[in-house]
Amino acid sequence: MKPNYPDRIHIAHLPTPLERMERLSKHLNGPDLYIKRDDQTGLATGGNKTRKLEFLVADALAQGCDHLITTGAPQSNHCRQTAAAAARAGLGCTLVLRGNKPAQETGNFLLDELLGAHVYWTEDRDRAEVITKAAAELQAMGRKPYVIPLGGSNVMGATGYVLAMQELMEQLAAQHINVDFIVFASSSGGTQAGLVVGAEVYGFHGHILGISVDSPAEELKMQAAALATATATHLGLGMLPLAERVEVNDDYLGGGYAIVGKTEREAIKMVAQLEGILLDPVYTGRAMGGLIDLIRWGAFTRGQSVLFWHTGGTAALPAFADKLV
């Protein structure tokens, strides 16, 4: 069972480090904790989107497109990395950001501007409507836009995380580590979909647990399972038992998407001060907060190993300064 991978461009710094979190493991007195540093994938400050964009940008180039359009929240990491990938590939970039232009240019929005992206704010309009309008304007100017969905989560984007699982399995074998759980922040489901396909292909037998950042568990499970199936089909893998491997915990939604509370604050400070590793306020802070809580509740036994897959996002930290200190 070998995936038939489409072409990709090589913009990510791979393999990302796999590290043991010795001091955090000791502090929490629970399972052995490891971290996969996808906050170090390169481009403009790293994160999970770089792996997705290797395939998405290659597809755009193969289709003769000269401009990327994508969408996200005002502090979207996906949008910032898309702007950076466009710059690297010599393509134009339009970002459709939700809501109104903030008073201050900070965090990812500041970086979007520095990276040369053209930004539209949806204000009270529907996201899809603004994307369609932006694409039509570009076409009228003789450009050929390529639209990347929210979070880069389609079969092309998810493919980046199928390949990431191969990378992890090689590292685990080389370092003689057995991982029982992979825990990470899950939102549009592309990372999770890719990981479960990769687990089937490369023989990872542990749990793959997404901590939902914004959706009810059942909704995200269905979304990630459907994308996993579509990705496996796209890679020529045939029928795999994927849906049962998609595990989601939605206990840490707190006040909603991007509402930073005690869970995120505690996790960010704990990992920063014990490991010297920065998490982000929206995704990895919440996912790590969930993992810390699960450890405290005894969800894992001593002797088990848990790998936290760091998916990036630290460029958003300054935009949440008033909620973090």
> Where on the chain is the footprint of ligand PLP (CB under 6 A)?
47-48, 77-78, 151, 153, 185-192, 280, 283-284, 311-313
Q: Structure tokens of 292?
A: 């810390």
Least Å distance, CB 9 to ligand PLP, is: 19
Least Å distance, CB 26 to ligand PLP, is: 26
Residue whose beta carbon is closest to ligand PLP: 313
Question: Which residue, chain included where needed, has tokens 């393509």?
Answer: 91
The DSSP code sequence of 132-171 is HHHHHHHHHTT--EEEPPGGG-SHHHHHHHHHHHHHHHHH
CB-nearer residue toward ligand PLP: 211 or 306: 211
CB-nearer residue toward ligand PLP: 161 or 204: 161
Catalytic residue, chosen from 76, 186, 188, 215, is 76
Least Å distance, CB 150 to ligand PLP, is: 8
Active site residue 215: no
CB-nearer residue toward ligand PLP: 106 or 188: 188
CB-nearer residue toward ligand PLP: 249 or 284: 284
Q: What share of the chain is helix, strand, coil (3-state, %, to 5)?
A: 45, 15, 40
Report DSSP state, residue 45.
T
Q: Structure tokens of 175?
A: 């370092």
Least Å distance, CB 52 to ligand PLP, is: 7
CB-nearer residue toward ligand PLP: 67 or 310: 310
Cα separation, 284 vs 288, in Å, equals 6
> Quick one: CA dihedral 95, 101, 106, 110, positive or negative?
positive
Cα separation, 5 vs 22, in Å, equals 36
- Helix or strand (DSSP H, E) at 20: strand 18-20
Q: Structure tokens of 276?
A: 């010297």
CB-nearer residue toward ligand PLP: 290 or 313: 313
For 218, phi then psi, to 5°, come to: -60, -40
* CB-based contact 267:279 (threshold 8 Å): yes
Least Å distance, CB 224 to ligand PLP, is: 8
Least Å distance, CB 132 to ligand PLP, is: 22
Cα separation, 81 vs 83, in Å, equals 5
Angle separating helix axes 107-114 and 77-89, nearest 10 degrees: 10
Report DSSP state, residue 322.
H
Q: What Rg do the C-alpha atoms of the chain give, in angstroms? A: 19
Which amino acids are annotated catalytic?
A: 76
